[in-house]
Structure 1
Amino acid sequence: MEISSTLLLVGFVVGLLVVVRWKSNRRRLPLPPGPLALPVLGNLFMLNKHAPFKSFLEWSKKYGPVMTVYLGPQRVVVLVGYDAVKEALVDQADDFVGRAQIAFLHRVVRGYGLVISNGDRWRQLRRFTLMTLRDFGMGRKRIETWIQEEIKHLQNSLRETKSAPFDPAFVLSRAVSNVICALVFGQRFRYEDNELLRLLQIISEILRFGSNPWGQVYNIFPWLMKHLPGRHQTLLRETDTLRGFIMEKIKAHEESLDPDHPRDFIDCFLIRMKQEKNNPETEFHYDNMVSTVLNLFLAGTETTSTTLRYALMLLIKYPHIQDQMQKEIETVIGGERSPVMQDRKALPFTDAVIHEVQRYLDLVPLSLPHCATHSFSFRGFAIPEGTVIIPLLHSVLKEEGMWDSPWTFNPNNFLDANGNFKNNPAFLPFSAGKRSCVGESLARMELFMFIVTLLQHFNFSCPGGPDSVDPTPELSSFGNLPRMYQLIASPR
């Protein structure tokens, strides 16, 4: 008995020494290096406020692919290059799975929903969202039919322009929005619907605000911006219009719900809420439903429609690429049959162009920031709990070691010597790992089917010709937003 007690005591002391030594070693791990920061302001005085990712890329040349910067008082670890980003988000995924609380987005969704959640809330909502969207056809034949039907409405809208110049922004966003609306609300909206147009304008302004310097200031100093007048105050009030629209749709769904025949995402969420109404720890409650639907409506509309708008801009800028795509499409599909996703393998050049549009646009250069929900180490550096983490997708999509011509628009980045499509592991416009975009498969389908169908039926140009097109972004921060332009859609 005495021997057992002694062994137990020795084991306890040894274990305690191991824990103390482990914690001591962790404390000795340095933070990643980075530029000298000022109190309160951090590195803001050094930052390119119009394109902060350019500053991060420049600093990484001195401090390496894992570095510490301070955005105001907030410590931020920036990951630069494919190797560092992949190692973090994929190889060490559990440590990097946290999402930072983006102040403006947090205010819009009231702290609920899928995108900014962490822990069990995030796991439950992500699993449910992926499963439900797939059940309703995301990535499958069913959604192909919906997209094909929506493209017909878009074609009619373009023909009504009678080859006159027009701003394509809201024409495209209405079509793309209707695809996500079919999944979430179980309906599409008429292009003449003024309520839909107003909602799309608000969504566009949210993205624009997040991509200008004032949006950066709001996210860094929300406690200050909360008390200052400005466009952000008006925009926050307008986001309540979005919430009100979604709440009305939910109410209508509650009144007509048939638990045995769910029609869409909202129905499925309502059914799950009823199933878990007696579970005090459930994440399936009204606030999470409203904000998750808002997440899907926002992300499913603006990102894909912006990419489409940029794709048409680049096809105007490079008419020989537009011609080559049309010839390939004509050979494989013809001019009448609607494309399906199976056609993509037989359209390597077209597929390469679509991938190159996404790579070159670099829509979300900073990615959505992650957060260390616990302290851990990465590449020999300490990452303390609460640290914001930016996987710099810009550095991956434009990395010189990963692309033959990273700084020019060149579909050959995705073609081999025989003209066959070749993938590239550094193609990460949807991010990677456990926090990758839940709508990636839907976005890929939409981009392919919209672009192929439009090129079957229209030639695209602009009043000033190819030389008048400026593909450099108008705004570059949270998002790279293309400049506005006038589109001419001439029936073929």
Structure 2
Amino acid sequence: MLSLSMVFSLFLLCYLTVQFVKLQREKRKLPPGPAPIPIIGCLWNLKFFRLERDIVTEVAKSYGNIYTLWFGRTPVVLLNGFQAVKDGLTTHPEDVAGRPLAPFFLAMAHNKGILLATGSTWRHQRRFSLMTLKSLGLGKTSLEYQIQEEAGHLVENFANTKGKPMNPSFALTLAVSNVICAVVFGHRFSNDDKTFHHLLEAMECIFKFGGSLCHHVYDVFPWLMRHLPGPHKKALSCCEEVSSFIRKEISSHQDRGALDEPQDFINCYLAQIEKSKGQPKPAYDESNMIQCIFDLFLGGTETSSTTLYWALLYMVAYPDVQAKVQKEIDATVAPCQRICYEDRKNLPYTNAVIHEAQRFSNIISIGVPRLCVKDTMIRQFPIKRGTIIFPSIASALKDPNEWETPGEFNPSHFLDKDGNFTCPEAFIPFSIGHRMCLGDHLARTELFIFFSNLLKAFTFHLPEGVKDVNLEPILGGTMQPHYFEICAVPR
């Protein structure tokens, strides 16, 4: 008579055999890739828990630039290199405009807002947000004036250090964040605002968790992770802290009452909610408003401030580049003149350095995943509705087929033979296709105005006795540099 353990073993063997056969059948319908096994997919190889650019590119050498990895039972199509990313996201852009409702994304945003929502929710919120941002000055001189004001505060903050060693991270984050705060909340925050400090710390925690090993484990085993302590609990707590802050700002706007001419994003959204009252299923409600503001606040702060953080590190790592930027600025801009975005046309080298800082830092290693919303084709591969796609933005920004020296910091990537600024097609830090970052113009303007005004006012160098510069990134939702200190010496 068979023992209970033998019966269980036979049942498990049969189950795994059936799952293996099903897996092989499904595998044949997708682009090639490493062999998955039942339950854990390709995660038998622990390196797939961290999809760094080098790993994505290494696997592509064996299977091609469009291949499949299995995370548990879920297949994911990877796009490596610029041409694969471009073909995957722009050949049939409407087919890949969805967002997978991965367990952590769902716990974080509940399919609300812009960044992590999909379907009709995303379409309504993105369209409204883009129209509202334009009405509030996106791409106009009124918003550029706000950026210049913040650049002035940033220069003042740096000047207050009197050339002593300091870490520029918080000052940069505060300046960039205050631009989006003025648009969304209608006011800026002071350096001494403790609540705002906590808010920026909460956002940093969320981004550090994104893309981490624990994040990937949560998405593969959500039923387990919900019952375990860990950094995922802290990240979700930080999400709630940011949302709570936004609720208070909304409540403050409601107490002041409606305005004839809305002055900020909250006013505009409250007016839109009022217009939507009485509809059977209104697309605009408070939960979507909170998440839209969350997305604008998070996206409008972290990416630009991190890029500027890297840019200053590159200036101390490559002092000859810094000197050349300053020489160009001095020859073009009057000493008492504030630099504006239009000046980029007369500062081609400075503009090239900023773009190269974006390319070389490639702060978003893997773009936020896409979802096929209908059956489609990517090159010769049929991709079924519901398939998740990971576009490797970093592999496009360091594609050896597109860049002369992809592994080096080289502003010449953005200059033609006559020294004029030129932007290669493979420069896609804001992604491409229907889900391209809606704040790309704002980010470009911020990066140029903040960076050029800082280089006009200061020369940056390492503190006395410090010789080494660590250019290796710390992995997370964005690729952060290791902690460093620099001296901002007034010119």
TM-score by length of structure 2 reads 0.91
Offset, 1:52 = 3.3
Offset, 1:300 = 0.7
CA contact (8 A) 2:80 2:392 kept: yes
CA contact (8 A) 2:52 2:365 kept: no
Distance 1:88 1:140 in 2: 33
Offset, 1:339 = 1.0
Which residue of 1 is the match for residue 365 of structure 2? 365
Residue 414 of structure 1 aligns with an amino acid whose one-letter code is F
State the SS of the aligned residue for 2:416.
coil
Q: Does 1:263 align with 2:266?
A: no
Q: Does 1:182 align with 2:182?
A: yes
Deviations 1:123-175 (A, max 9, x none): 11111111111111112111111011111111221111121112211111111
Distance 1:208 1:154 in 2: 25
Deviations 1:189-228 (A, max 9, x none): 0011011011001101111111422222223322221111
Distance 1:45 1:30 in 2: 22
Q: Does 1:423 align with 2:427?
A: no
CA contact (8 A) 1:159 1:489 kept: yes
CA contact (8 A) 2:70 2:76 kept: yes
State the SS of the aligned residue for 1:468.
coil
Structure 2 unaligned residues grouped into runs of 5+: 1-25
Which residue of 2 is the match for residue 248 of structure 1? 248
- Count of residues paired in the alignment: 465
Distance 1:389 1:357 in 2: 27
State the SS of the aligned residue for 1:260.
coil
Residue 149 of structure 1 aligns with an amino acid whose one-letter code is E
Q: Does 1:284 align with 2:284?
A: yes
CA contact (8 A) 2:112 2:121 kept: no
Offset, 1:402 = 0.4
Which residue of 2 is the match for residue 36 of structure 1? 35
Distance 1:361 1:287 in 2: 34
Which residue of 2 is the match for residue 406 of structure 1? 406
List aligned pairs for 1:169-318, cutoff 5 A. 169-318=169-318
Distance 1:194 1:458 in 2: 28
CA contact (8 A) 1:473 1:480 kept: yes
Distance 2:141 2:28 in 1: 51
Q: Does 1:46 align with 2:20?
A: no
Which residue of 2 is the match for residue 80 of structure 1? 80
Deviations 1:263-311 (A, max 9, x none): 1011100001000111122211111001110011111111111111000
Evaluate the alpha carbon distance shift between residue 402 and residue 149 of structure 1 in structure 2; reply closer, same or farther with a 3 A threshold.
same
CA contact (8 A) 1:76 1:390 kept: yes
Which residue of 1 is the match for residue 11 of structure 2? none
Which residue of 1 is the match for residue 490 of structure 2? 491
Distance 1:280 1:316 in 2: 58
Which residue of 1 is the match for residue 143 of structure 2? 143
Q: Does 1:67 align with 2:67?
A: yes
Which residue of 2 is the match for residue 336 of structure 1? 336
CA contact (8 A) 2:180 2:297 kept: yes
State the SS of the aligned residue for 2:38.
coil
Q: Does 1:376 align with 2:376?
A: yes
Which residue of 2 is the match for residue 24 of structure 1? none
Distance 2:27 2:194 in 1: 60
List aligned pairs for 1:14-25, cutoff 5 A. none
Structure 1 unaligned residues grouped into runs of 5+: 1-26
Offset, 1:465 = 6.8
The farther-off stretch of 268-277 and 159-168 is 159-168
CA contact (8 A) 2:430 2:440 kept: yes
Distance 1:331 1:32 in 2: 54
State the SS of the aligned residue for 1:460.
strand
CA contact (8 A) 2:369 2:388 kept: yes
Evaluate the alpha carbon distance shift between residue 102 and residue 54 of structure 1 in structure 2; reply closer, same or farther with a 3 A threshold.
farther
Residue 107 of structure 1 aligns with an amino acid whose one-letter code is A
Residue 53 of structure 1 aligns with an amino acid whose one-letter code is R
Distance 2:170 2:222 in 1: 30
Distance 1:468 1:485 in 2: 10
Evaluate the alpha carbon distance shift between residue 410 and residue 465 of structure 1 in structure 2; reply closer, same or farther with a 3 A threshold.
farther
CA contact (8 A) 1:257 1:267 kept: no
Which residue of 1 is the match for residue 459 of structure 2? 459
Evaluate the alpha carbon distance shift between residue 232 and residue 119 of structure 1 in structure 2; reply closer, same or farther with a 3 A threshold.
closer
Distance 1:474 1:294 in 2: 24
Residue 141 of structure 2 aligns with an amino acid whose one-letter code is K
Deviations 1:381-433 (A, max 9, x none): 23222211011111111111100000111001111111111110000000001
State the SS of the aligned residue for 1:44.
coil
Distance 2:406 2:46 in 1: 23
Which residue of 2 is the match for residue 14 of structure 1? none
CA contact (8 A) 1:80 1:396 kept: yes
Distance 2:490 2:219 in 1: 45
RMSD across aligned positions (CA)? 1.7
Deviations 1:37-72 (A, max 9, x none): 122221123252455332221111111121111122
Evaluate the alpha carbon distance shift between residue 316 and residue 465 of structure 1 in structure 2; reply closer, same or farther with a 3 A threshold.
farther
Identity of aligned residues (%): 40
State the SS of the aligned residue for 1:435.
coil
State the SS of the aligned residue for 1:70.
strand
CA contact (8 A) 1:85 1:392 kept: yes
Which residue of 1 is the match for residue 19 of structure 2? none
Distance 1:273 1:36 in 2: 50
Residue 32 of structure 1 aligns with an amino acid whose one-letter code is P
Distance 2:28 2:63 in 1: 16
CA contact (8 A) 2:214 2:231 kept: no
Offset, 1:375 = 2.7
Distance 1:138 1:123 in 2: 19
State the SS of the aligned residue for 2:390.
strand
Offset, 1:84 = 1.8
